[in-house]
Amino acid sequence: MAENMFLFWGSGSIPCWKPMIVLEEKGFGGYKNKLITFSNKEHKGEDVLKLNPRGQVPTFKDGDIVVNESNAICEYLECTYTDKGTQLIPTDKAKRARVLQRMHEAAANMQQKLVLDLLYYFFQTKEEDRKEEEVAKKVEAAKEELDRWEAYLGETKAFVAGPDFSMADVWFYPFIAFSVRMGLELEKFPNMKAYYDKVTARPSIQKSWPPHWKEEPAKFSPFKGRI
């Protein structure tokens, strides 16, 4: 099956990393793929655009079927290949409800508060134009969000939606890993630190780890000393 799959992806992209984790968890390692370079605008190349008119990655093919949005790819793989590899969305109603809740909670809140509101403020605002009161407000919102997930992990003592690794972890973990690269100090969040170490050791994470993260440290760590 993996031989009929093809993924265009970018290193370090959270949207790309999520379906890559799912592909490994479902046992589809070895799928065909192309690593694109954002700085060269390869995501706007003809080979991507003919499958994805938005010129974005991830862009995914399974035979003749094309699925482009990150979360859609994850759900497509789980729904289509439920019997393969790790079951990422449970069939039990109560467990499924908890996983779905945590999936969409992570997608909405971690993306907004850590990436769009805080990280992008540093990326898009010149240092001389940054307002400390604005930074402090955004940092506080990010801390509150992380405290919420710290509490969840304190309840489960395992993964974000319960005792088993699930799609909720696929959608949550990359935000934490990216934040750690940006300087997040997990010693302040002991439950999250234990979770991060455990999930990082999973084969699916190791096999899909962003290659440039292995090669060089982050050039910018805006979270360091703040969160």
The pair of structure tokens assigned to 96 is: 């499924």
pLDDT for residue 63: 97
Determine the length of the chain: 227
Q: Look up residue 128 and give its two tokens.
A: 């001389």
Q: CA of 87: how far to CAs of 19, 59, 79, 142, in Å?
A: 14, 23, 10, 31
- Chain-centroid distance, C-alpha 76: 16
Q: Distance between alpha carbon 205 and the CA centroid of its chain, in Å? A: 11
Taking the CA atoms of residue 223, residue 39, residue 171 and residue 143 in that order, the dihedral angle to the nearest 10 degrees is 10
Parallel, antiparallel or unpaired: strands 5-10 and 32-36: parallel
Confirm if 211 and 11 have CB atoms less than 8 A apart: yes
pTM of the model: 0.96
Query: Quick one: pLDDT at residue 17?
Result: 98
The tens place of each residue's pLDDT in the chain, 227 residues long, gives 789 999 999 999 999 999 999 999 999 999 999 999 988 898 999 999 999 999 999 999 999 999 999 999 999 999 999 999 999 999 999 999 999 999 999 999 999 999 999 999 999 999 999 999 999 999 999 999 999 999 999 999 999 999 999 999 999 999 999 999 999 999 999 999 999 999 999 999 999 999 999 998 898 899 999 99
Closest CA to 209 of 1, 21, 4, 59: 21
Q: At what angle do helices 93-105 and 167-181 cross, to 10 degrees?
A: 30
| DSSP-derived secondary structure letter, 223 | T
For 1, 73, 148, 151, the CA distances from 191, given in Å and listed in that order, are: 37, 29, 11, 8
Instruction: State residue 220's pLDDT score.
Output: 87
